[in-house]
A and B are shown apart, each in its own frame.
Chain A
Amino acid sequence: MKVDVDMSICLLHGQCVIAAPQVFSFDDDGGLVWVAEVDEAQRADVEAAADACPEQAILLG
């Protein structure tokens, strides 16, 4: 599945990093980085991350 983050609304809460640390992380400058294509095994984690994002910035495809 595809993972995207709308960086125009992401406010760097980092809830996604907590919910799915294998997919979302912060680089040393504090910017958000994510894996754009994840396998089905990670679906639950990625959906949990999308639900936990207070800005609804995570788009799953």
Chain B
Amino acid sequence: MTAPRITIVGASLAGLRTAEAVHAALPAARITLVGDEPLAPYNRPPLSKEAAETLARDTTAREAVFGKLLLRSKLSPAALSLRLGSGAVALEPGGVRLADGALVPGERVIAATGLRPRRLPLPGAEARRHVLRSFDDLVRLAPSLRPGARMVVIGGGFIGCEIAATGRKLGLEATIVEPSPQPMLRALGPRVAAAMAALHRAHGVVLLTGRSVAGFSDEGVILDDGQALAAEVIVEALGSHPNVEWLAGSGADLRDGVLVDDRMVAPGAEGLMAVGDVARFVNPLFGPEARRTEHWCVPGQTAKRVGETLAAEAAGTALATRFAPMPSFWSDQHGMRLQAFGAPSLADACRVLEGELSLVGRAPVIVEYLRGGEPVGVLGLGANPAALAKARARLDAALTETLTA
């Protein structure tokens, strides 16, 4: 048998971890990792946090900052062929067609193409408008993060709240414009989101909730109520679109990412798998609905599953376990760490296990999230990791029960 050729598209966290998992499962496989960015795989979470701060303070520190973001890999360079700087434009019967015209062969193609930021489809203020997903985005943004500059962040999700907090730390004036009543409302629920809103306000962030942006002028943004906000820096943090256009016509279900089954294989396109932010899958810990999860932990978890699937296929056995990974995410805002396990966004109620929500940012708080009375998530806000680990154990136990029920 000849060595299988496996082509992974998207050279970021999910792509790299998948290459490692494929190599571990099938040491003879010839693996190609294709990426449209010209950079080797790097870590994104610091882009709105420490990396933004460091690069804003010293815009010449580009290499040092990137060096810290670069993902270490245990794969030897010989085990992997990296093709950077040209993106995939189509999936063809023999492999993946790149923008530069080349065809990268692969019996098996794994989509790890992640997301790209949504932008407001409104013209104006182009030179001041930014998004934050890639290192290039940060390099373009950093020089405008100057003390005293006025920054308007459109969208109060995690990335928007983080860059606003980083902006305040750097001495900028920061305003967040968010259409819903609270920032991070969907992810954290009304009570915790309100506490986070108070924390942002206490740190000098102007939060305009229930408002949206109607247009851009030469000076800044214009809100739906006609109010004009002057801004030298505008960050559009409105959420993202899955990068699936290159898979059009593949047979896979591409509504909101690439739908994959328990093996990470796309139904309708057997040779195609998907991992990371772009993958939509059922997690039996949380019911029968397929969802996409934009957390750092997902690339590692889905990559490991690809490894298990390929190893089982090679051995001609069935997968020994179900795919039921425990989600987790963190965020850093105003010097406070949020750390969550499970799926707080699915909860219909929450209860404070430790501390007080009115003290968020000043004293540790741990919140348990419930759905139909059962724990579905736990969140620490500036919490002691040991105390949070105990709360997480309760969650683990409750969710494991769901799985066996």
CB distance from B112 to the nearest CB of A (A): 15
Chain A 31-54 near chain B by CB (<8 Å), digits 1 or 0: 010000000000000011001101
The reply to whether B389 and A15 contact each other, CB–CB distance below 8 Å, is no
Option from A27, A32, A48, A54 in Cβ contact (under 8 Å) with B43: A54
**Chain A 3-31 interface residues, beta-carbon cutoff 8 Å to B:** 11-15, 17-18, 26-30
The reply to whether B389 and A17 contact each other, CB–CB distance below 8 Å, is yes
B384 close to A (CB within 8 Å):
yes
Given A54-B296, A56-B72, residue A11 in contact with residue B386 (CB < 8 A)? no
A18 to B297, CA, bound (A): 12
Option from A26, A29, A51, A56 in Cβ contact (under 8 Å) with B389: A26
The reply to whether B386 and A29 contact each other, CB–CB distance below 8 Å, is yes
Chain B 70-92 near chain A by CB (<8 Å), digits 1 or 0: 01101000000000000000000
The number of A-B residue pairs with CB atoms under 8 Å apart is 43
B190 close to A (CB within 8 Å):
no
User: Which of under 10, 10 to 19, 20 to 34, or 35 or more describes the interface residues of A?
Assistant: 10 to 19
B30 close to A (CB within 8 Å):
no
User: Cβ of B71: which chain A residues have Cβ within 8 Å of it?
Assistant: 56
B287 close to A (CB within 8 Å):
no
Given A51-B17, A56-B72, residue A15 in contact with residue B387 (CB < 8 A)? no
**Chain B 293-341 interface residues, beta-carbon cutoff 8 Å to A:** 296-297, 300, 304, 326, 328, 330, 337, 339
A18 to B300, CA, bound (A): 14
The reply to whether B386 and A13 contact each other, CB–CB distance below 8 Å, is no
User: Cβ of B300: which chain A residues have Cβ within 8 Å of it?
Assistant: 51-52
The reply to whether B389 and A13 contact each other, CB–CB distance below 8 Å, is no
User: Cβ of B388: which chain A residues have Cβ within 8 Å of it?
Assistant: 14
CB distance from B43 to the nearest CB of A (A): 7
User: Cβ of A14: which chain B residues have Cβ within 8 Å of it?
Assistant: 339, 385, 388-389
Given A54-B45, A54-B296, residue A30 in contact with residue B386 (CB < 8 A)? yes
Q: B303 — nearest CB in chain A belongs to which residue? A: A51
User: Cβ of A18: which chain B residues have Cβ within 8 Å of it?
Assistant: 326, 328, 392
Chain B: interface residue total (CB-CB under 8 A): 23
A38 to B388, CA, bound (A): 26
CB distance from B165 to the nearest CB of A (A): 16
The reply to whether A26 and B328 contact each other, CB–CB distance below 8 Å, is no
A11 to B297, CA, bound (A): 16
A56 to B385, CA, bound (A): 18
CB distance from B95 to the nearest CB of A (A): 28
The reply to whether A12 and B297 contact each other, CB–CB distance below 8 Å, is no
CB distance from A13 to the nearest CB of B (A): 6
Option from B304, B339, B387 in Cβ contact (under 8 Å) with A13: B339
Option from A15, A26, A54 in Cβ contact (under 8 Å) with B386: A26
The reply to whether B297 and A27 contact each other, CB–CB distance below 8 Å, is no
CB distance from A59 to the nearest CB of B (A): 10
A11 to B336, CA, bound (A): 11
Option from A30, A48, A52 in Cβ contact (under 8 Å) with B385: A30
**Chain B 91-122 interface residues, beta-carbon cutoff 8 Å to A:** none
**Chain B 28-71 interface residues, beta-carbon cutoff 8 Å to A:** 43, 45, 71
- Additional A-B contact list (10), CB under 8 Å, known A14-B339, A51-B20: A11-B337, A17-B385, A18-B326, A29-B386, A30-B384, A30-B386, A48-B304, A51-B17, A56-B43, A56-B71
Q: Can you pick out 19 interface pairs between chain A and chain B where the beta carbons lie within 8 Å of each other?
A: A12-B337, A13-B330, A13-B339, A15-B297, A17-B385, A18-B328, A26-B389, A27-B386, A28-B386, A29-B384, A29-B386, A30-B384, A32-B385, A51-B20, A54-B43, A54-B45, A54-B296, A56-B71, A56-B72
Q: CB within 8 Å of A: which residues of B? A: 17, 20, 43, 45, 71-72, 74, 296-297, 300, 304, 326, 328, 330, 337, 339, 384-389, 392
